[in-house]
Amino acid sequence: MENQDDIELVVLAKQGDSVAFEKLVERNYIFVYKVSYKWCGVKEDAEDITQDVFMKLAGKIQSFQESSTFQTWLYKVTINTAKDFVKKSSRKRKKEMAYSEQQEIDSESNQEEDSISEIVHNLITRLPDKLKETALLVFCEGMNHKEASVILNCSEKTVSWRIYEVKKKMKSNLKTDEVLW
């Protein structure tokens, strides 16, 4: 089964082949974890989200249509699961995490090892969901606007507009926070 692509494994998994399903999980675990982590920014939550995604996948594998790639479909499931997870988190927990992460960023900002990507990630996590989702796809996943539009179920122009808004909001937040480059 090493040489089979994801679509072949999905077909087998739909037929009840547990080895094929395990192979899908094995192949895509790191991808799902990275997407989850980029969405929530907390290692433990990303692990929980990743587990939730594969639990959902076991029940939803039958609904996969070959009209898109498996990874595109899996990305959508992952983002939706991450959104649900974050919504279910209590406000108190969100505030504690935000405060804790802000303290980490503040304490690390005096150290030379603080990187631009950490600052950008912090700015992205503060964006509204639709902008955050678009920014993660384009900036973190390296997708072009067309690829992102397929996953987001919107036009390329909408993706372009959202990226414009992301840049505008990030620039504004940089000025407000007085983050020095």
Domain hosting residue 19, numbered range = 1-89
On whether the pTM is more than 0.85, the answer is: no
Do residue 124 and residue 84 come from a single domain? no
Residue 132 structure tokens: 């955050």
The structural domain count of the chain equals 2
Lowest mean pLDDT among 3-7, 17-21, 79-83, 102-106: 102-106
Tokens 């912090």 identify what position? 122
Going by the DSSP 8-state scheme, the letter that residue 170 receives in this structure is H
Do residue 74 and residue 5 come from a single domain? yes
Tens of pLDDT, residue by residue over 74-107, are: 999 999 999 888 877 755 465 566 656 666 655 5
Q: Answer yes or no: is 55 within a domain.
A: yes
Q: How confident is the model at residue 176 (pLDDT cuts 50, 70, 90)?
A: confident
Q: Answer yes or no: is 157 within a domain.
A: yes
Q: What is the CATH number of the domain that holds 124?
A: 1.10.10.10
Q: Answer yes or no: is 95 within a domain.
A: no
What is the 3-class SS of 155-169, one letter each residue?
CHHHHHHHHHHHHHH
| pLDDT exceeds cutoff 80 at 7 | yes
The better pLDDT of the pair 119, 103 is held by 119
Do residue 6 and residue 82 come from a single domain? yes
Do residue 80 and residue 119 come from a single domain? no
Q: Answer yes or no: is 99 within a domain.
A: no
Q: Answer yes or no: is 134 within a domain.
A: yes
Q: How confident is the model at residue 23 (pLDDT cuts 50, 70, 90)?
A: very high
Lowest mean pLDDT among 82-91, 134-143, 149-158: 82-91
Do residue 1 and residue 81 come from a single domain? yes
Compute the distance between CA of residue 117 and CA of residue 128 in angstroms, rounded to an integer: 19
Do residue 80 and residue 126 come from a single domain? no
Going by the DSSP 8-state scheme, the letter that residue 137 receives in this structure is I
Q: Answer yes or no: is 101 within a domain.
A: no
Q: Answer yes or no: is 109 within a domain.
A: no
Instruction: Look at residue 115 and give its three-state secondary structure.
Output: coil
Percent pLDDT > 90 in the chain is 31
Tens of pLDDT, residue by residue over 38-82, are: 888 889 999 999 999 999 998 888 888 877 788 889 999 999 999
Give residue 96's pLDDT: 60
Do residue 82 and residue 7 come from a single domain? yes
Phi-psi region of 17 (alpha: psi -120 to 50; beta: other; left: phi over 0): beta
Do residue 85 and residue 142 come from a single domain? no
Do residue 29 and residue 79 come from a single domain? yes
